[in-house]
Structure 1
Amino acid sequence: MNHKMYTLLLVEDDASLGYLLSEYLKMKGMELIWVQKASEVIPLLEQRGFDLLILDVMMPEMDGFTLGAEIHQRYPEIPFLFLTAKSMKIDVLKGFSVGAVDYLKKPIDEEELVVRIETLLSRLGSQEPDEVSRTSLGRYVYDPQNQCLYLDKEELSLTTRENELLSYLVRHQNRLCSHSDILKRLWGRNDYFNRKSLNVFITRLRKLLEKDPELRIENVHGQGFILRMPVQPK
Structure 2
Amino acid sequence: MEVKKRILLVEDDEAVGYLLSEYLRMKGFELSWAKQGKEALVKLDQSNYDLAILDVMMPEMDGFTLAEKMNEDYSNLPFIFLTAKSLKVDVLKGFYLGAVDYLKKPIDEEELVIRIENLLSRLDNTASKKVEVDAYTIGKYHFNSLNQELVVDDQKINLTVKESELLKYLVDKKNQLCPHKDILIKIWGKNDYFNKKSLNVFITRLRKFLERDSRIKIENVHSKGYILRFEP
> TM-score by structure 2 length?
0.56
Report the Cα distance in structure 1 between the residues aligned to 2:2 and 2:106, rounded to whole angstroms: 25
1:11 is matched with which residue?
A: 10
- The alignment status of 1:155 with 2:154, answered yes or no, reads no
In structure 1, the residue corresponding to 2:103 is in which secondary structure?
Answer: strand
Q: Percent identity?
A: 56
Kindly state the Cα deviation for residue 4 of structure 1 after the two structures are TM-superposed: 5.6
The one-letter code of the counterpart of 2:176 is E
The equivalent residue for 2:157 is: none
Q: Could you say what secondary structure the match of 1:130 adopts?
A: coil
State how 1:191-230 maps to structure 2 within 5 Å. Answer: none
SS of equivalent to 2:130: helix
- Equivalent positions of 1:55-134 (< 5 A) are 55-127=54-126, 129-131=129-131
Normalised by the length of structure 1, the TM-score is: 0.55
- Contact 1:3/1:29 (8 A) holds in 2: no
Unaligned runs of 5+ in 1: 135-144, 158-234
Q: How many residues matched?
A: 144
Aligned partner of 2:206 in structure 1 is none
Shift in Å, 1:78: 0.7
Q: By how many angstroms is 1:65 displaced? A: 0.5
Q: For residue 31 of structure 2, what is the amino acid of its counterpart? A: L
Query: What is the SS of the residue equivalent to 2:52?
Result: strand
Assess, with a 3 A threshold, how the Cα gap between structure 1 residues 107 and 76 changes in structure 2: closer, same or farther.
same
Distance (Å, rounded) in 2 between the aligned partners of 1:131 and 1:119: 23
**Structure 2 gaps, min length 5:** 136-168, 179-232
- 2:45 and 2:119 map into 1 onto residues whose CA distance is 24
Pairwise CA RMSD: 2.8
Shift of 1:155: 2.9
Kept in 2: contact 1:54–1:83 (CA 8 A): yes
How far did 1:132 drift?
Answer: 9.5
Counterpart residue identity of residue 116, structure 2: I
Structure 1 runs (4+) deviating above 6 angstroms are none
Contact persistence 1:85–1:105 (CA under 8 A): yes
* Partner SS, residue 73 of structure 1: helix
Give the equivalent residue in structure 2 for 1:32.
31
Q: How has the CA–CA distance of structure 1 residues 93 and 101 changed in structure 2, closer, same or farther, with 3 Å as cutoff? A: same
Task: Determine which structure has more spread, i.e. the larger CA radius of gyration.
Answer: 2
* Aligned CA distance change for structure 1 residues 3 and 96 (closer, same or farther; 3 Å): farther
Counterpart of 2:95 in 1: which secondary structure? helix
The code of the aligned residue for 2:109 comes to: E
Q: Distance in 2 between matches of 1:31 and 1:149?
A: 28
CA distance in 2, matches of 1:100, 1:7: 17
Alignment partners' CA distance in 1, 2:131 and 2:92: 31
Task: Provide Cα deviations, 1:120-179, integer angstroms capped at 9, x if missing partner.
Answer: 011101115515979xxxxxxxxxx99x886xxx4389xxxxxxxxxxxxxxxxxxxxxx
- CA gap of 1:122–1:3, structure 2 versus 1, over 3 A, is farther
